[in-house]
Structure 1
Amino acid sequence: MPNQPHTATTADHSRLTAFGDHLIALHDDLRRDIAALRKEASQLPADGDNLDPLVLPERLHSHCLSFCEALDAHHTTEDQSIFPFLAQEHPELSEVLDRLASDHRTMATLLTDLRKLAATPSAPDFHADLERLSVELLTHLDREEHYLVPVLNSLTHFPGH
C-alpha cells in the first residue's frame, strides 16, 4: 500500500502533462479543418461565375459554420478559464496572454465577417476572408503552442482536475 500515493501522484502528473499535449491535438484538428475548408473554397469559381451569388454550396456553408463555431468555442474556453488560471499561476506570461487574447479578438471579428459571407457570399470575398483567417489562426496556434505547451505540461495542479 505505500506505493499508492506515489502511483496517484504519477497518474495525476501524467493527466496534467496531457493538457499541453491535448492543446496540440486540438490545434492539429483546427489546422486540418481550416485546410479542408480552404481546399473546398478553392474549388469555387474565382469570379463567381456558375455560382448562385446568394448561396455557397451547402457542404461548404455547413462546414464553414461548424468550423467557426468550433474555433469560437475553443477561444472562449481559453479566454474564460485557461488564460485567467495561467495569468494567476504564471504572472510572467502576462504579455503573452494579452497578445493571445488580442489574437482571439482579431479572429472573432474575422469569424463574424466569414459567417456573414457564408450567408450571402461572393466567391472572391469569401475566399479572401477565409485566407485572412487562416493566416491569423496558423500564426496564433504556433505562438500559443510555443509559449503555453511547456507551461501546461509542467503544471502540478489545474482547476477542476
Structure 2
Amino acid sequence: MSDPDLSLHARSGLPEALRVLVEEIPRDAWQAHPDFGGLVAFWLERHLLFRRLLATLEADVQALIDGQIPFEVYAPRLSRLGGLLVNELHGHHQIEDQHYFPLLARFDPRIGAGFDLLDADHQALDGLLNDMATAANAALAGGAPGRLADHLDGFGRMLHRHLEDEEEIVVPVILKTGFGG
C-alpha cells in the first residue's frame, strides 16, 4: 500500500471506494442477515476477544499505576493476558492473510484494494505488537508501567481502527456471497 493517507496510523476510517459493500449491507443489518452466524459470528467473536483482552490489559496497568493492585498480582496477569493477546492476534492475522483474504478478495473486485489495506495493517500491527511486548517485558522486569500504558494506548487506537475497518470489508463480503455458510 503506497498511499500514506491510508496507512493504519493516518486514516480515520475506510475510504469511500472501499465502503461500497458496507453501504449495501450496513453494520446494523448484519445480525438480521440470513447468512449471519457461522464464520461471521466467529470472526466478530474473535475481534471481541481482542478488544476485551486489550481493555483488561489497559485497566490492569492503570490499577497498578494507581496502587490498586500489587505488582505480585499484576505481573502474572500481564504475562498471561499479554501473551494471549499477542499470540492470538498473530495467529488470527496469519490465517486471514494466508487463507481467508485471498479467497474473499475474488468475490468482489470493487474491494480488492481493501484486502491490500488490511494486509498492510497486519504488518503495521506486527511492529506495534513487538513494541508492546518489549514494553510489557520491561514492566515485568520492574520498569515503569507508565511506558506500557502509553504503548497499550497507542496500540489500542490502531487495533480498534483496524478491527472496525476489517469488519466493514470482510463481513459484508461474507454476507453477500454466503461464503461463511
- Per the normalisation by structure 2, the TM-score is 0.68
Distance, in Å, in 2 between the alignment partners of 1:91 and 1:155 is: 13
The one of 13, 18, 24 aligned to 2:44:
24
Residue 137 of structure 1 corresponds to 159
Secondary structure at the counterpart of residue 89 of structure 1: coil
Residue 64 of structure 1 corresponds to 82
Residue 61 of structure 2 corresponds to 41
Residue 86 of structure 1 corresponds to 104
From the two aligned structures, give the one with the greater helix fraction. Answer: 1
- The answer for unaligned runs of 5 or more in structure 2 is 1-33
Secondary structure at the counterpart of residue 43 of structure 1: helix
**Could you tell me how far 1:18 is from its partner in structure 2?**
2.3
Count of matched residue positions in the alignment of Structure 1 and Structure 2? 140
**Could you tell me how far 1:17 is from its partner in structure 2?**
5.3
The one of 119, 135, 140 aligned to 1:101:
119
CA change 1:67–1:157 in 2 (3 A) is: closer
Conservation of the 8 A alpha-carbon contact between 1:21 and 1:153: no
Distance, in Å, in 2 between the alignment partners of 1:151 and 1:60 is: 36
**Identity level (%):** 26
Secondary structure at the counterpart of residue 64 of structure 2: coil
CA change 1:93–1:17 in 2 (3 A) is: farther
- Per the normalisation by structure 1, the TM-score is 0.76
Distance, in Å, in 2 between the alignment partners of 1:19 and 1:92 is: 22
Bigger Rg, structure 1 or 2: 1
Q: What does the per-residue CA deviation read over 1:93-133, in whole Å, with 9 as the maximum and x for residues that have no partner?
A: 22211111111111110111111222223312111111111
CA RMSD, Structure 1 to Structure 2 (Å): 2.4
